[in-house]
């Protein structure tokens, strides 16, 4: 056993058959090229979307609480229950907001869409005291800005209904609309912050 010789079958490189030497390159199926093109187009579309979203990033960073609607720079909420003007004011305050103070005709139109097509009146943050109409933020009512006038009453509270303001006794029962600033989910530049603070 100790003297046994083991033989191995060795091949020299030169002995390899020509069929083994030349492997034809494996061709990819036709759909691989199609996937490559689709992947490139997908990346291009994704890049365009990222650029567009970054341009509109500030608007996309605003978030309203559940059941509130974002419109422009503010969040709006319509109550489900009825109550007098004071109850509406306190309900808004409990939600870190206020009865809506209308800034322009555009906002007035938006409140009408929140309330519905043929709504009953909704309380807004407008009240008279000795025939002087003021908003809950203590700014005076400007009928020229909103293109309307109010009845002259010694005491009363303002509602918005369909196309115009109406005055009711403050102990009447209506729904109300609250308004607040949205939560900002991203950093705000100094210019945006100044613009936001100026419009409160």
* pLDDT tens track for 154-198: 578 988 887 678 888 999 999 999 999 998 877 655 445 444 444
The arithmetic mean of pLDDT across residues 66-93, rounded, is 94
Is the distance from CB of 62 to CB of 70 less than 8 angstroms? Answer: yes
| Beta-strand pair 122-129/183-184 | unpaired
Which pLDDT score is estimated for 83? 96
Which pLDDT score is estimated for 149? 64
Domain ranges of the chain: 29-57, 66-180
Residues in the chain: 200
Choose the CATH number for 66-180 among 3.20.20.100, 3.30.70.1140, 3.10.100.10, 3.40.50.720: 3.10.100.10
Which pLDDT score is estimated for 152? 57
Asked if pLDDT for residue 200 goes beyond 90, the answer is no
Stated pTM of the model: 0.61
Q: How far apart are CA 47 and CA 124, in angstroms?
A: 45
Which pLDDT score is estimated for 120? 87
Average pLDDT, the chain: 78
Of the given ranges (47-51, 64-68, 110-114, 166-170), which has the lowest mean pLDDT?
47-51
* 85-139: pLDDT as tens digits: 999 999 999 999 999 998 888 888 888 888 876 678 999 999 988 778 899 999 9
Which pLDDT score is estimated for 74? 92
Q: How far apart are CA 179 and CA 166, in angstroms?
A: 19
Between the CA of residue 197 and those of 10, 135, 186, 194, what are the distances in Å?
87, 18, 16, 5
């Amino acid at each position: 056993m100790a003297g046994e010789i083991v033989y191995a079958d060795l091949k020299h490189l030169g002995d390899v058959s020509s069929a083994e030497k030349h492997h034809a390159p494996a061709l990819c199926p036709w759909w691989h090229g199609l996937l490559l093109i689709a992947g490139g187009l997908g990346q291009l579309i994704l890049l365009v979307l990222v650029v567009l979203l970054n341009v509109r990033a500030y608007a996309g960073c605003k978030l309203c609480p559940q059941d509130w609607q974002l419109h422009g720079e503010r969040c709006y909420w319509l109550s489900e229950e009825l109550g007098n003007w004071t109850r509406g004011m306190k309900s808004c305050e409990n939600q870190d907001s206020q009865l809506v103070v209308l800034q322009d005709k555009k906002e007035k139109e938006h409140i009408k869409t929140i309330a519905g097509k043929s709504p009953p009146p909704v309380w807004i943050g407008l009240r008279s005291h000795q025939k002087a109409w003021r908003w809950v933020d203590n700014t005076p009512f400007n009928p020229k800005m909103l293109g309307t006038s109010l009845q002259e009453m010694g005491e009363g509270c303002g509602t918005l209904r369909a196309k115009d303001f109406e005055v009711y006794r403050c102990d009447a029962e209506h729904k109300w609309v609250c308004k607040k600033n949205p939560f900002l989910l991203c950093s705000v530049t100094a210019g945006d912050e100044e613009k936001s603070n100026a419009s409160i």
